[in-house]
Structure 1
Amino acid sequence: MSNRLAAVMLAAGASLISLTGILVRFADVPATVSAFWRMLFGGGILALALLPAGVWRRVRRSDWLWMLLPAAGMAADLALWHRSIHGIGPGLATLLTNFQVFFMALAGVLFYRERLGPRFLAGAVLAFGGTWLLVGADWSAFAPAYRTGVWLGLLSGVAYTVYLLGFREAQRRRRPALDAGAWLAVNSLLCALLLAGLALAEGAPLGIPDPRSLVALLSLGLVGQCLGWMLIVRAMPQLPASLVGLLLLLQPALAFVLDVLLFERATRAGEWLGLALALAGIFVGSVRLGLGKAHSAADSEGPQP
Structure 2
Amino acid sequence: MTAQAPLTAAPGAPPASVGRMALGAMLLSTTSIFVVLAQVAPTVSAFYRMLFGGVMLLGWVVLTRRWVRVRWRDLTLALLPALGFSLDLIFWHRSILWVGPGVATLLTNFQVFLMALVGWWIYRERLGRWFVPGLAVALGGLWLLVGAHWSLFDARHRLGVWFGLASGVAYTLYLLSFRRALSGHTALSAAQFLGLMSLLSAGLLLAWGGVEGDTFALATARSWSALLALGFFGQVVAWLLMVRAMPLLPASLVGLLLLLQPALAFVLDVLLFKRPTGPGDWLGLALALAGILLGTLRKR
The one-letter code of the counterpart of 1:207 is A
2:262 aligned with 1:252: yes
1:155-174 to 2 correspondences below 5 Å: 155-174=166-185
For the 8 Å contact 2:115–2:172, the answer to whether it is kept is yes
Task: Output the CA distance in 2 between the equivalents of 1:117 and 1:287.
Answer: 6
1:87-102 to 2 correspondences below 5 Å: 87-102=98-113
- Equivalent residue of 2:107, what SS? helix
- The residue aligned with 2:9 is none
CA RMSD of aligned residues (A): 1.6
- Equivalent residue of 1:54, what SS? coil
The one-letter code of the counterpart of 1:234 is R
- The residue aligned with 1:222 is 232
Q: Following TM superposition, by how much is the alpha carbon of 1:2 offset from its aligned partner in structure 2, in angstroms?
A: 7.2
For the 8 Å contact 2:116–2:127, the answer to whether it is kept is yes
Match of 2:144 among 133, 139, 157: 133
Task: Output the CA distance in 1 between the equivalents of 2:223 and 2:117.
Answer: 38
- The residue aligned with 1:303 is none
- Equivalent residue of 1:188, what SS? helix
- The residue aligned with 1:281 is 291
- The residue aligned with 1:300 is none
Q: Following TM superposition, by how much is the alpha carbon of 1:178 offset from its aligned partner in structure 2, in angstroms?
A: 3.2
Query: What CA deviation, in whole Å up to 9, does each residue of 1:200-250 have, x standing for no partner?
Result: 111111111211011000000111110011101111011000110111110
Unaligned 5+ residue runs, structure 2? 1-11
2:250 aligned with 1:240: yes
The number of aligned residues is 289
Task: Output the CA distance in 2 between the equivalents of 1:288 and 1:70.
Answer: 26
- The residue aligned with 2:8 is none
The one-letter code of the counterpart of 2:207 is G
With 43-52 and 75-84 compared, the bigger mean Cα shift is at 43-52
For the 8 Å contact 2:137–2:288, the answer to whether it is kept is yes
Unaligned 5+ residue runs, structure 1? 291-305
- The residue aligned with 2:36 is 25
1:1-305 to 2 correspondences below 5 Å: 3-174=14-185, 178-288=188-298
The one-letter code of the counterpart of 2:20 is M
Task: Output the CA distance in 2 between the equivalents of 1:14 and 1:289.
Answer: 24
Q: TM-score under structure 1 normalisation?
A: 0.91
Q: Following TM superposition, by how much is the alpha carbon of 1:113 offset from its aligned partner in structure 2, in angstroms?
A: 2.8
Aligned-pair identity in percent equals: 56
Task: Output the CA distance in 1 between the equivalents of 2:167 and 2:189.
Answer: 27
Task: Output the CA distance in 2 between the equivalents of 1:212 and 1:288.
Answer: 43
The one-letter code of the counterpart of 1:196 is L
For the 8 Å contact 2:128–2:295, the answer to whether it is kept is no
Task: Output the CA distance in 1 between the equivalents of 2:210 and 2:163.
Answer: 21
Task: Output the CA distance in 1 between the equivalents of 2:237 and 2:283.
Answer: 32
